[in-house]
Amino acid sequence: MKIENVPVKGLSSDEYEKTLKISWKPTLQYAWDNGIGIGKYLQSLKEGKILAAYCEKCGRIMLPARAFCEMCFRPTDKYLPVKDTGTVNTFAICHVNWDASRLKPDEPRYIPAVIEIDGASPGQGIMHLLGNVEPAKVRIGMKVKAVWKPADKREGSITDILFFEPY
């Protein structure tokens, strides 16, 4: 929306740009240590597997893998791979980019989703994208499967899975 369209008396866009302001562009860079839990999870993705952690006390098979059970407040007892298939718990159809700029009409829509992974406890989902599917066809409860990057391109990141597609 242009400022001229706002129904109050104000500065024009040009006038506004000419007002004196102080600006600063921060350079903020971080490199977070993965540590044990995240480290094992990401290493596993690099090997083409989704890794969960098991807590003997509450019996949950938790995703992503973690070093301690946050509910029982004790170390997890073992790490185990689960399937790379699952069920869509919820999703959204995004018409804007990361920076809120609009996608062009012919650009594919992003479909972020929570996917409950087969083999993990109920409610243990991961966040990812859906692909190879018409946005209008996506349904809660839809069965999906991971589409992996080629092994030599994986780098230990959640993007080692490209997206999940219906199967």
Partner 1 sequence: MKERVAIVGIGVTGFSSVSPSISFKELTYTAAVKAYHEAGLHPKEIDSFITASEDFMEGYSIFDEYVPDQMGAVMRPVQTVTADFIQALGIGCMMINTGRFRTIAVEAHSKASNVKTLNEVKAFALDPVYIRPLKENADFLAGLEMKRFLEETGNTEEQCAEVIVKNKANALNNPYAAHAASLTIDDVLSSPPISLPLKELDAAKPADGAIMIVLASEKEAKALCKKPIWIRGISWFSGQGNPWCRDFAYADYAQLAAQKAFAMAGIANPLKDLDFAEICDEYSYKELQHLESIGIARKGEAGFLTQTGVTKLGGLLPVNVSGGSLGVGHTYEASGGMKVVEAVMQLRHEAGIRQIPNAKTGLVQSWRGVPTATGAIAILSNE
Contacts of Zn ion in 39-58 (CB under 5 A): 55, 57-58
Q: How far apart are CA 154 and CA 167, in angstroms?
A: 23
- CA 65-68-73 angle, 5° bins: 145
**Which of 61, 63, 65, 69 is in the footprint of Zn ion by CB under 5 A?**
69
Q: Could you give the strand order of the β-sheet that contains 50-54, starting from the edge strand earlier in sequence?
A: 61-62, 50-54, 78-82
Give the binding range for Zn ion (CB under 5 A) out of 31-39, 66-74, 113-121, 127-135.
66-74
**Identity of the residue, 5 or 27, whose beta carbon is nearer to partner 1 in the bound complex:** 27
Provide the binding-site residues for partner 1, judged by CB under 8 A: 22, 24, 26-39, 66-68, 70-71, 73
> Cβ of residue 23: shortest distance to partner 1, in angstroms?
9
Identify the CA nearest to 87 among candidates 115, 61, 108.
115
Task: Report the phi/psi class of residue 123: left, alpha or beta, with left for phi > 0 and alpha for psi in -120 to 50.
Answer: left
Out of Zn ion, partner 1, none, which partner does residue 57 contact, by CB within 5 to 8 A per kind? Zn ion
Residue count at the site for Zn ion (CB under 5 A)? Answer: 6
Helix (H, G, I), strand (E, B) or coil at 51: strand
Out of partner 1, Zn ion, none, which partner does residue 31 contact, by CB within 5 to 8 A per kind? partner 1
